[in-house]
Chain A
Amino acid sequence: MKKLAFLILLAGLTGVSPLAAQDNSGSGDASETAADLPMDVPVMVEEALAAGIDHQYTGPWEYFVGGGAAAFDCNGDRLPDLAVAGGTSKASLYVNRSAIGGELRFEEKADALPDDTRDKVTGLYPLDIDNDGHRDLVVLRVGENIILKGGPDCSFTEANRAFAFNGGRAWTTAFAATFEPHLPFPTLAFGNYVDRSAPGSPWGTCHDNELIRPIGGGERPDYSEPSMLTPGYCALSMLFTDWNRSGEPALRVTNDRQYYREGQEQLWRVSPDRPPRPYRRSDGWRRMQIWGMGIAEADLNADGYPEYALTSMGDTKLQTLDSEAEPDRPVYRDIAFDENATAHRPYTGDDLKPSTGWHAEFQDFNNDGRLDLFIAKGNVQQMQDFAAYDPDNLLLGKAGGGFLEAGDKAGIALPRRGRGAAIADFNMDGMLDLAVVNREAPVSLFRNAGGRTAAGGTRPMGNWLEIELRQDGVNRDAIGATVTVKSGNETRTRKVHVGGGHASGSAGFIHVGTGTAERAEVRIQWPDGEWSAPFRVFANNFVVIERGATTAQYWYPPE
């Protein structure tokens, strides 16, 4: 009530609607420049074609959603390579040939993905499933999902039979994975969309989702016994997340209200050796219905508990634990308005209709030590009530909290329908680059060229670290680990996870901007909960931390 009264009062005072009163609907004064913002605005140079990537995500209704990308190193040089879904076009894998610190260059490896797995691909997530040191690729499809076993030099072979994995025939649009205690391989979760064969489809015919635990203790994964996550509400993103710091990640699912009946957002309790169970109203879980498209997680207020950005049509949600929450009572409230992160309509141009948000990801694009929020935006196809020109958002984190929109000033406000995305440092210069998969439009590949100067040039931004975690045996990439980077009074945290975003995942170096800090103490909470000793590292370096090591190592890109 208080908030409503405030909004009405505000509207009365200013003579504008409550939504218009919030500044995040646009970049404000049209004459405002990047130099007017109280932080560095990264200059994002679109160079996909010049870099060798000419790719579109295409197809009819089934491909209105999906459109994922995966950034991960598949040839052992530590430079992130890029796999892109194509819908009715072929999915492709591009090997990173970028010069260090230079322009982006990719080379398509046509035979990397088995040809019969490249069609009908909606999304891609990399992870090392069989613990062999090569990242595998989970391929989400309209129809049978595929696990591609990674080998040397970006070679992939279909492993459904080898892993006893039944890819089913659903329309799959979401994925997440976690390593549960005492299991030798990851537990996989697949989120499905509309069951097209059900009577009455598409309305109210959402497919169930699946959770697949590995069974047996063999040398190879055995995923032959899936459990159904019923009911399914047309999932478009899912993420294993340790929402209550219990050390036991739960499965958060965002669902598209367009097609479900009586559905809602979901959080599944996934306890070892027990069937998953959804949190319900009696557990404190509040019903929320949105056109859920993507999930991003970050601990924005450094309280140890993650906040969640949930993209949708209209307002993006930004949820934080409410004061009524308890260790097993997930009560959330929305702080998107307070944090200037609703991103509810285009921030530039004349189209004032609501936005449609897809991939969301927290990262620090300007290395000022504060997390930014990228949101891929784009009309579903031709929905008249929603913005046709709907540029992607780059919400830059402010000192003291909250965000400022800088998408246009950064150069990412293109007239394309964004879907999935991959954020990675493709040219290993310490600044995060961005690949966006667009529906029926070329993939956008933005090179981060540095902070924009008043004169229109670029300059280096803040200090940074990129951290790689390694451990032997199960879970080589330490999925589920927490990375803390402490400089002075500030501690920055990152979670290593597989899932979320929109049909897109990345694996590899974990990027942390450190602002003016030129050194930091890094500690790792490994997935089993064990804390490492502090590692003392200098900023502007690539750091490799092996479990059990007493010192961190530096890695240097080839010069």
Chain B
Amino acid sequence: MKPIHALLTALAFSALTPAMADEMNEPWAERAISGHVDQSTLKGRLDRETLDALRDKGETLFGAKFTELDGAGRKVATQAIIPTKRKRPPDLEFQRIAGMDANSCSSCHSHPVIGGAGDFTVNVFVNEGFVNADFDTVDPQFSNERNTNHLMGAGLVELLAREMTADLHRIRKETLHTARETGEPVTANLVTKGISFGRITAEPDGILDIAKIEGVDTDLVIRPFSQKGVMTSLRQFGVNAMNQHHGMQADERFGTRWTGEADFDEDGHDNELTEGDISALTAWQATLPPPIVMVPDNERWREAAAKGGAMFDTIGCNECHVRALPLKSLDFTDPGPFDAAGTLRDAEIDGAIYDLSLMDWAKDLETNDKGEYLIPTFGDLKRHVITDRQVAALGNELLGQRFVERNEFQTSELWGIGSTAPYGHRGDFTTLDGVIRAHGGEARASRDAYIDLSDTDRSALIAWLKTLVIPR
């Protein structure tokens, strides 16, 4: 009986399909996705018009309120980065902790503009989603709570990370080569763009001592995204986030190739996001304008900011919050060079180049005498221990994440900080003064120096930080 029943059902469905399809395309259709982006059209260097069109699609996806007709929800899939089945469907589709926890990207990345940061109300809960996928508590033993970062200038951040990774890999290759050639162990400092990531020692037989690597993963891939610095690319992050927050599963990780199923979350929708869709999202984020240093109209603020900016350097904040990192190229290749399987890789397709120099904001980037762009992120793309025994407020997580210890975080890029309160990885601090005072560990000396400043000097420093804004 079953096959006959299935056959009748199939016939009935196919009879309905054209009408349903028409309904899907009506202006009032309850869908956010009316068509997918064809990846095969995205090859080589995109001209401004093509890039703009792709960005538009990306922005649409970023702002889309996905519906169950699009494939929103993940009935039997957890939020895990590695495709993982739930033990049972959740009682509720939306759930603030294990997710899905948001209807759209822009519902959190919204302040002060789309792609910006989020208030404490839109904190997310980070759990690997492998074991306790259905936990229903915010107890930190089950999850790390994180404030929403802004994405402005994210393409430049990823490009910096790529160039730094390439430098580190070159150093590693040369060190190994020299050790093999000389028959002697060779030690090399891992320095790129002026940032030190410790050192490596290569043995003549090709063994690499990785014990002295600092602030970066042992594969020497700088992963610039997330508070911990554990995500390689906007593309990888996009695939992760689309599943975690919206239950929208990208074919490049959750599709048949890796899971054996076109509808891994079993919500009745195959291939919810195509490679092209993820490219559109990536292109839009990669081309977002970077934050700026605002010149206040108020003269006293201008004067205070000038003083505070100098103070920032004097007390050593700039040792980690490095004012600017030099970038050689504005060519953003997508897919990128350092992603692993499960995120589309550059060797898998003929990808596209998003030329960030086509963006209007690119003309405002400063350059140095080598023609390198100076990217004022006020960060170093390196992880640091940020707590100690006395100053431990930022050590409020109990779970490590992706091999990174609980009290170790990537230096926050300060660009845009004036627009993105509250502060700290969990958004625990309502003032900049508060979050500066919470810096311990490797930042302890600067933090102590800040506290030792006069009230006027501390105020000046805040005045300067408040000029690092995301324009509306």
Contacts and interface: CB of A to CB of B under 8 A. Distances in A.
Interface of A: 38-40, 76, 78, 367-368, 398-400, 459-463, 487-490, 515-519, 536-541, 544, 551, 553-559
Contacts of B349: 459
Interface in B210-237: 210-211, 217-219, 221
B429 interface: no
B210 A541 contact: no
Given A544-B207, A554-B208, A554-B219, 11 more contacts: A399-B259, A459-B349, A460-B341, A462-B258, A488-B130, A489-B80, A489-B82, A516-B342, A555-B208, A558-B176, A559-B173
B302 interface: no
List the 6 closest pairs (A to B, CB-CB), nearest first.
A399-B260, A516-B342, A538-B219, A518-B340, A488-B82, A488-B130
Interface string B337-356: 00011100101110000000
Interface in B124-181: 128, 130-131, 172-173, 176-177, 180
Contacts of B340: 463, 516, 518, 539-540
Contact of A398 (B173, B219, B260): B260
A221 B253 CA distance: 52
B229 to A, nearest CB: 14
B342 A518 contact: yes
11 contacts: A38-B260, A398-B260, A399-B259, A489-B84, A515-B342, A516-B258, A541-B219, A551-B211, A554-B218, A559-B173, A559-B176
Contact of B205 (A76, A367, A516): A76
Given A460-B347, A515-B342, A538-B217, A488 B80 contact: yes
Contacts of A536: 218, 403
B205 A515 contact: no
Contacts of B402: 519
Interface string B372-410: 000000000000000000000000000000110000000
A553 B210 contact: yes
Contacts of B341: 367, 460-463, 515-516, 518
Contacts of A488: 80-82, 84, 128, 130
Nearest to A550: B211
Contacts of A490: 82
Interface in B78-96: 80-84
Contact of B207 (A38, A519, A555): A555
B256 interface: yes
A553 B209 contact: yes
A399 B211 CA distance: 37
A539 B342 CA distance: 12
A460 B348 contact: yes
Contacts of B183: none
Contacts of A537: 218
Interface string B311-349: 000000000000000000000000000001110010111
A521 to B, nearest CB: 9
Contacts of B256: 38
A134 to B, nearest CB: 15
A488 B219 CA distance: 19
> Which of the listed residues A76, A536, A544, A556 has the most CB atoms from chain B within 10 Å of its own CB?
A556
B257 A38 contact: yes
Given A459-B348, A515-B341, A489 B258 contact: no
B206 interface: yes
A40 B345 CA distance: 15
B38 interface: no
B207 A553 contact: yes
Given A515-B82, A539-B340, A368 B258 contact: yes
B184 interface: no
Residue with the highest number of chain B CB atoms closer than 10 Å, among A78, A459, A487, A519: A519
B258 A515 contact: yes
B303 interface: no
A186 to B, nearest CB: 25
A40 B205 CA distance: 33
Given A460-B347, A539-B340, A540-B340, A399 B261 contact: yes
Q: Is the interface of A mostly helix, strand, loop or mixed?
A: loop
A536 B206 CA distance: 20
Nearest to A460: B347
A551 B213 CA distance: 12
B130 A557 contact: no
Contacts of A463: 340-342
A490 B80 CA distance: 12
Contact of A556 (B80, B128, B176, B345): B176
A39 B210 contact: no
A400 to B, nearest CB: 6
A540 B82 CA distance: 16
Nearest to A398: B260
Contacts of A558: 176-177, 180, 206
Interface string B254-270: 00111111000000000
A345 to B, nearest CB: 26
A544 B209 CA distance: 11
A460 B210 contact: no
Contacts of B208: 553-556
A559 B219 contact: no
Most chain A CB within a 10 A radius of its CB, from B208, B253, B260: B260
Interface string B237-262: 00000000000000001001111110
Interface in B29-86: 80-84
A385 B208 CA distance: 56
* Residue in B82, B83, B131, B402 with the greatest tally of chain A CB atoms within 10 Å: B82
A537 B402 CA distance: 10
A559 B177 contact: yes
Nearest to A463: B341
A555 B218 CA distance: 12
Contacts of B258: 368, 399, 462, 515-516
Nearest to A538: B219
Given A39-B257, A519-B402, A536-B403, A460 B130 contact: no
Contact of B347 (A399, A459, A489, A518): A459
A462 B257 CA distance: 10
Contacts of B347: 459-460
Contacts of B84: 488-489
Contacts of B80: 488-489
B404 to A, nearest CB: 10
Contacts of B209: 553
A262 B154 CA distance: 73
B349 to A, nearest CB: 8
A519 B403 CA distance: 9
B340 to A, nearest CB: 4
A339 to B, nearest CB: 14
A283 B221 CA distance: 55
B83 A516 contact: yes
B348 A487 contact: no
Nearest to A539: B340
Contact of A516 (B82, B206, B219, B221): B82
A420 B391 CA distance: 64
Contacts of B172: 556
A553 B185 CA distance: 15
A417 B393 CA distance: 69
Interface string B279-305: 000000000000000000000000000
Contacts of A76: 205
Scoring A516, A541, A544 by chain B CB atoms within 10 A of each residue's CB, the highest score goes to: A516
B260 A516 contact: no
A558 B208 CA distance: 12
A517 B82 contact: yes
A487 B82 contact: yes
B210 to A, nearest CB: 6
B372 to A, nearest CB: 27
Nearest to A366: B257
A91 to B, nearest CB: 28
A78 B205 CA distance: 9
Nearest to B128: A488
Contacts of A540: 219, 340
